[in-house]
Amino acid sequence: MFFGFPGLKYDGVDRTAELNEKTFNKTAFAKGAKTVVFFSDVEADDDELDQYECFLQLSAQFVERRGYKVYTVNTTKEVKLRNQEEVEKGEDTIHVYKDGYKIEYYGIIDPDTFTSWILDIPDEPVTIINSKFDEDEFEDLEDTHTRILGFFEPGSKALKEYEEAAEDFMGEVEFYAVVDTFWARRLGIVRVGEVHMYRPFEKEPLVAPKSHDTEEEFEDWVEKNHEPVMAKLSLTNYFNVWKDPEEDEKLVVAFCDEETEEGRAMFKLLKKVARMNSQYAGTLEIVLIDPDEFPLMIDEWESMFGVEIEAGPVIGLVDISEREGVWFDMAQLNLEQPKKYQTQNLEVLDSWIDQIMQGTISLDDDDEPPPPPPPPAKGRKRKEL
């Protein structure tokens, strides 16, 4: 037994090799090559070495049979190579190089999660929708991925430009296209050249300017707009979501167990709040976390932020590196009767988000009083929680 899987064994063969500045390009970008490269600054005396070695060797044993070769790059020694591949100093990350494309893995360092992810890498950067199966695949990603959908003439120059733009976002944004009127209309697109962006938890798509039809224009538009207001933390997007925000961004974390009544009510409330604040995409990120999906992290998060995650839903403005947060007063919400108090709940939570975006509530002053509760429902007294 290995990693809890009966019958799974490591055969003891070392399948990894180290790359340097001289050997990297001719290995990773060789014609027909399928290459996995683990960039890290782990040294021989690091406590993490055994963990990484176990992950790499078991993953390599699996992916080798699917045509992949696994390599490592020591980013402490190979500074030029680290900069070339846009790896941050001190960052441990995995890149997959396949058919000339570079795809970054943002998931946790776990062989089961990683090998499952690598099996799902598409053969092409753009999926053409021409069947119900393709349509269902597109719809299934509604709340998990930012999706781009364009309508093009088959074989057109604009489609080629769109495909080349998609190459730079593989593993982060899912690109789709339709090439006939039937599927375009079925998916809500009426004009050839029209491109829609669908961000998680938002009902209405963002439409690209009509003038955009070159690789550079598509890339700039996607780069500027692809970040959603709310993202759900998963095993495969962990390090793309659980990270410190940029200087001009606000990071709000919401812990809610979707298997509880209050957790489901909070989740539905947050989806509405995210849609109401779509104008803040790129400057506000709400990270939705179901603790049941990360049981080993519950104690760490509770210690990090000083909140009780298992007691019920909590939401706060946080700084991950500083291990601090300003937490919303959950007593202002009625999650026991969410339908009855939906309007009041939305008002108070949306007001709190507005205060964050206006700077009234900030991490610089965690003594800031919470926003006032909404007025009670007309003609009856609001139930106290």
Convert the pLDDT of each residue in 60-73 to its tens digit. 999 999 999 999 99
Q: Please, which residues bridge with residue 79 across strands?
A: none
Q: What CATH number matches the domain at 230-358, 3.50.50.60, 3.30.413.10, 3.90.1300.10, 3.40.30.10? A: 3.40.30.10
Tens-place pLDDT, residues 336-373: 998 999 999 999 999 999 999 999 999 986 444 444 44
- pTM exceeds 0.75, yes or no: yes
Mean pLDDT of the chain: 91
CB distance 162 to 191 below 8 Å: no
Please write down the HEC assignment for all residues of 274-342: HHHCHHHECCEEEEEECHHHCHHHHHHHHHHHCCCCCCCCEEEEEECCCCEEEECCHHHCCCCCCCCCH
Q: Which of 106, 258, 277, 292 is closest to 201 using CA atoms?
A: 277
Q: Which of 297, 355, 346, 348 is closest to 326 using CA atoms?
A: 355
Whether the pLDDT of residue 374 is over 70: the answer is no
User: Fold for domain 16-119?
Assistant: Glutaredoxin (3.40.30)
Q: Which of 48-57, 68-77, 166-175 has the lowest mean pLDDT?
A: 48-57
Q: Which of 7-21, 51-65, 218-232, 305-319 has the lowest mean pLDDT?
A: 7-21
Tens-place pLDDT, residues 187-235: 999 999 999 999 999 989 999 999 898 999 999 999 999 999 999 999 9
Do 126-225 and 230-358 fold alike per CATH? Answer: yes
Alpha-carbon distance values, 369 to 190, 352, 360, 373, 382 (Å): 50, 11, 10, 12, 21
Predicted confidence band at 3 (pLDDT cuts at 50, 70, 90)? low
Spatial strand order of the sheet with 101-105 comes to 16-18, 69-74, 34-40, 93-98, 101-105
Instruction: Please report, rounded to a whole number, the percentage of residues in the chain having pLDDT higher than 70.
Output: 93
Half-sphere exposure of residue 381, counting CA atoms within 13 Å on the CB side?
Answer: 3
Predicted confidence band at 1 (pLDDT cuts at 50, 70, 90)? very low
Angle at 230 between CA 39 and CA 289, to 5 degrees: 70
Single-letter amino acid, residue 150: G
**172: phi then psi, degrees, rounded to nearest 5:** -125, -40
Angle at 287 between CA 171 and CA 75, to 5 degrees: 50
Single-letter amino acid, residue 316: G
Give the CA diameter of the chain: 77
Q: What is the pLDDT of residue 51?
A: 87
Single-letter amino acid, residue 210: K
Domain segments of the chain as ranges: 16-119, 126-225, 230-358
Q: What is the DSSP letter of 190?
A: -
State the CATH architecture for 126-225.
Answer: 3-Layer(aba) Sandwich (3.40)
Alpha-carbon distance values, 220 to 28, 96, 208, 217, 299 (Å): 26, 23, 11, 5, 40
Task: Provide DSSP, 221-288.
Answer: HHHHH---SEEE--TTTHHHHSSPPPTT-EEEEEE--TTSHHHHHHHHHHHHHHHHTGGGBTTEEEEE
CB distance 324 to 354 below 8 Å: no
- Assign residue 239 a region (left: φ > 0; alpha: ψ between -120 and 50; beta: otherwise): alpha
Single-letter amino acid, residue 145: H
Tens-place pLDDT, residues 278-307: 999 999 999 999 999 999 999 999 999 999
Q: Which of 274, 200, 272 is closest to 237 using CA atoms?
A: 200
Beta strands at 195-198 and 146-151: parallel, antiparallel or unpaired: antiparallel
Whether the pLDDT of residue 85 is over 70: the answer is yes
Tokens linked to 101: 């494309």
Predicted confidence band at 4 (pLDDT cuts at 50, 70, 90)? low
Q: Which residues contact 106 (CB under 8 A, 6 or more apart)?
A: 171, 172, 236, 237, 238, 239, 240, 241
Question: For tokens 């190979």, what's the residue?
Answer: 78
